Amino acid sequence: MLEVQGIHAAYGRVRTLFGVSMTAKPGEITCLLGRNGAGKTTTLRAITGLLPVSEGTITLDGDDLTRLPAHRIAQKRVGYIPQGRRLFAELTVAENIEVGLMACGEGRETRDWVLSIFPRLRERLSQRAETLSGGEQQMLATARALCLRPRVLLLDEPTEGLQPSMIEEIRQVVLRMKAEGLIVVLVEQRMDAILSMADRAVFLDHGQSREAFIGNALRADPSILTRHLGV
Amino acid sequence: MEFGPHLMLATLEGAVTAAILALTAMGLSVVFGVMRVVNVAHGEFYMLGAVIAWFVASTLGAHPAVGFVAALVIAPLLVGSLAALADVLILQRISYDPERTIVATIGLLYIIQQTTLMTFGPDARPVEAPFNSRIALPWFEFGDGGFALYWPWGLSITSYKLFVIAAAVVILAALWLLMTRTKAGLVMRATQQDSAMAQAFGIPVARVYALVFGLGAALAAMGAVLIVPIQQAHYLMGGDPLLLSFIVVIIGGLGSLPGTVIAAVLIGMSDGIISVFFSPTLAKILATLAVAMVLVFRPQGLMGKSAA
Ligand SMILES: Nc1ncnc2c1ncn2[C@@H]1O[C@H](COP(=O)(O)OP(=O)(O)OP(=O)(O)O)[C@@H](O)[C@H]1O
Ligand SMILES: [Mg+2]
């Protein structure tokens, strides 16, 4: 279980999070919701250790991650699929995957597993990441995170700017990881995706977590979403 | 001497300059490429390499070849460790902030230079070459008897200078293999691309930075150990290599390793040739002019990518 309790964080002097709490469980998809600038990306960056947390705690199965440097958190098998993909642009597809594999000492078997999930990447192994199409880049960003054999998968708007068939492909992968018992934290803006996938939802507003719902409550009353997101 | 043989001699001298410059500039380029750090103290790491080479060779006092080989191993290791330490103790503390990094490395420059003056002294000191036989080189002519080879008087090079060129080629090839074919190289390249994401994927970026800074300094030190049997070790010898390295790195394209080699060959060769036919000062003037032209007409350098 991933537990975030009352974290505060800042970009330099710009304070951004003022008490965010959330709980994400294995085999569930926890959606992080909020308007633009609410602090969703910032919360994920705090979990990965890329942004230092000044108050509050982050624990994974009781293991305290709060003050660990980012590379040590990755080694605890926390896979991150950042907003905008952030691939190693000038490295090849194969090299991007290799970096993912090195993080937790994974080898050939994991590589084959990941490439079996995204067969299109196998055809493009020697291509530079920056030359991939947007959809392929998202696949590679996802593949790179899966190379950690993650216990936790953090996805930040993975379907931003993708066509419907690609969105569906990513959705299937996320559902598959949920079925495999991963802790999935998903930042998502699209209502239909939230309603069909979320087992829990946490609403952020101005750097604070406001309310949390379980998925069924959202589905029973989708107007909650409209109210909180103002869409 | 006639023009042809004279030009060949100048070219060979230029190749020696280019070889050393390629190593030194490569150190600067790797550090800038991976860490985005402009290391103003780079020339002092070069100087330290030469001074340590003298110290090792003169302390061992054995056959010059023994001292030289020992220096070639010890100087880069010591200089690299010192640089890595400076990275951890200074640059890391100021978070690699660009302006503060420049000021800090200027400070480092003076600390290293003055400490060397206080310990090693103001005199230039020679290191004996491990071998130094003179090799006469042939030239050709088309005379009445057709094509003929002959050995013009004065057209020769020392075996040691040929060795310097070969050693630089070997070291650069090894560096290229390290960067492109090994896990360590992949880690450095990933860090170069996106240090935050590298960290999010398990790469201890702080340690990578210390190693890269050490590697950059070690490359300069290797260049210095190679040059010190030709030019003596002196506490002020770091200035020219720093200037020329900056020129090379800017012309080649900041952070581009192939660009750095190409530019080092261009600048080194023309420096050698112009120095032989005209004067070393003219060579520096032209090199600086070349930088100005590159900055005006192709700011990203020969092999650099334009900042879109
Ligand atoms: N590097 C940064 N430096 C300073 N402030 C930042 C930085 N990144 C984000 N912020 C600020 O932090 C706040 C939260 O940003 P964040 O990126 O977490 O929002 P978000 O919920 O992910 O929004 P979006 O839906 O647009 O992706 C915003 O006000 C933003 O301006
Ligand atoms: Mg965001």
Which residue in A has a C-alpha nearest to residue B197's C-alpha?
A86
A145 and A96 both lie in a single domain: yes
Q: Which two tokens stand for residue B24?
A: 């030194």
In this structure, the answer to whether residues A135 and A195 fall within a common structural domain is: no
ipTM value of the model?
0.94
Residue B308: predicted pLDDT: 43
Q: What is the pLDDT of residues B114-172, one digit of tens each?
A: 999 999 999 999 988 888 888 888 888 777 777 888 888 777 888 999 999 999 999 99
One domain, residues A219 and A170: yes
pLDDT category, B1, cuts 50, 70, 90?
A: low
For the CA of A83, the nearest atom of ligand 1: 27
Mean pLDDT calculated for residue range A225-230: 78
Q: Residue B105 C-alpha to ligand 1 middle, in angstroms? A: 34
For ligand 1, what atom is nearest to the CA of residue A45? 18
CA distance B108 to chain A (A): 27
Q: Which H or E run contains A56?
A: strand A53-60
- Residue B44: is its pLDDT beyond 60? yes
- DSSP secondary structure string for all residues of B190-238: HHHH-HHHHHHTT--HHHHHHHHHHHHHHHHHHHHHHHTTTS-B-TTTT
Same domain for A141 and A170?
Answer: no
Same domain, A135 and A161: no
Q: Residue A204 sits in which domain range?
A: 1-76+152-231
Task: Tell which one of A4, A13, A35, A41 to mutate to probe ligand 1, the residue whose CB is within 8 A of the most ligand atoms.
Answer: A41
Boundary-marking domain end, from A150, A170, A198: A150
Number of domains in chain A: 2
What pLDDT digit, counting tens, does each position of B169-209 carry? 999 999 999 999 999 999 999 999 999 999 999 999 999 99
A38 ligand 1 Cβ < 6 A: yes
Q: How far apart are CA B178 and CA B175, in angstroms?
A: 5
Measured torsion, CA atoms of residues B40, B43, B49, B55, in degrees rounded to the nearest 10: -110
pLDDT of residue A59: 97
Are residues A72 and A84 both part of a single domain?
no
Same domain, A43 and A67: yes
Same domain (yes/no): A230, A162: yes
Q: How far is A211 from chain B (nearest CA, A)?
A: 29
Please give the Cα distance from B42 to B300 (Å, whole number).
22
CA distance B176 to B63: 32
Please name the residue that has the structure tokens 């002196």. Answer: B234
- CA–CA–CA angle B270, B273, B278 (5° rounding): 110
Listed residues A150, A167, A201: the one ending a domain? A150
Its pTM surpasses 0.95: no
Same-domain status, A176 and A165: yes
Tokens at A2, concatenated = 């991933």
Domain boundary among A128, A150, A172: A150
Cβ burial of A32 (10 Å; 0-12, 13-18, 19+) is buried
> Are A157 and A72 found together in one domain?
yes
Nearest-CB residue to A102 (from B183, B193, B205)? B183
Contacts of B193 in chain A (CB under 8 A): 88-91
Q: How far is the CA of A193 from the centre of ligand 1 (A)?
A: 22
pLDDT reported for residue B306? 62
pLDDT band at B110 (very low <50, low <70, confident <90, very high): very high
Question: How far apart are the CA of A72 and the nearest CA of chain B, in angstroms?
Answer: 6
Q: Where are the alpha helices (DSSP H) in chain A?
A: 40-48, 70-74, 93-103, 108-117, 119-122, 134-146, 164-179, 191-197, 215-220, 223-229
A69 and A164, same structural domain? yes
Return the CATH number at A221. 3.40.50.300
pLDDT number for residue B125: 92
The answer, for A99 touching chain B at a CB cutoff of 8 Å, is yes
Please determine, for residue B67, whether its predicted confidence score (pLDDT) is greater than 50: yes
- CA A157 – ligand 1 centroid, Å: 14
Strands A53-60 and A2-11: antiparallel
Q: Are residues A95 and A70 in the same domain?
A: no
Query: pLDDT tens across B264-278, in order?
Result: 999 999 988 888 888
pLDDT at B77: 98
- Does the beta carbon of A209 lie inside 6 Å of ligand 1? no
